[in-house]
């Protein structure tokens, strides 16, 4: 199976609603979990990340939660705005030799309707 599974693949919300994207990972040694936002035709940009020794992290309207026992982490966006529309990717960093290698989820297309 996939090392990182991401759901849903598409999420449509009304402006002002909350959006939640979930990812699960398989390697219990994973220790770093970033989230990237990619607008159409642009490069991925890091928006928030969390380490394995932290359960939750917030930055204004976005937050990430991590459940190490269940091996899943989630991105929460509150008070969504049309400019939040983009594809969001999660990633889990796994150890390979002496380096930590990221494995990405397949992405969630978030559409915020005005």
What is the C-alpha separation between 38 and 29, in angstroms, rounded? Answer: 27
CB closer to other proteins out of 17 and 59: 59
Residue that the structure tokens 């890091």 belong to: 46
Which range touches other proteins (CB under 8 A), out of 12-20, 56-64, 72-80, 100-108? Answer: 100-108
**Pairing mode, strands 56-59 and 45-51:** unpaired
Who's near 65: CB < 8 A, 6+ residues apart? Answer: 50, 55, 56, 73, 74, 76
Among residues 73, 75, 107, 110, the one that binds other proteins under rule CB under 8 A: 107
Contacts with other proteins in 59-88 (CB under 8 A)? none
Q: Does 7 bind other proteins (CB under 8 A)?
A: no
Q: Which residue ranges make up the site for other proteins (CB under 8 A)?
A: 6, 9, 31-32, 34, 42-46, 49, 51, 89, 91, 93, 97-107
């Amino acid at each position: 199976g996939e090392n990182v599974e991401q759901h849903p693949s598409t999420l449509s919300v009304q402006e002002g609603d909350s959006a939640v994207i979930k990812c699960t990972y398989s390697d219990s040694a994973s220790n770093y979990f970033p989230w990237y936002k990619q607008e159409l035709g642009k490069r991925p940009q890091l928006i928030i990340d969390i380490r394995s020794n932290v359960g939750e992290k917030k930055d204004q309207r976005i937050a990430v939660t991590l459940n190490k026992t269940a091996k899943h982490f989630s991105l929460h966006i509150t008070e969504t705005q049309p400019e939040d529309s983009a594809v969001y990717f999660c990633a889990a960093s796994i150890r390979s030799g002496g380096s930590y290698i990221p494995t990405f989820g397949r992405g969630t297309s978030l559409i915020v309707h005005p």
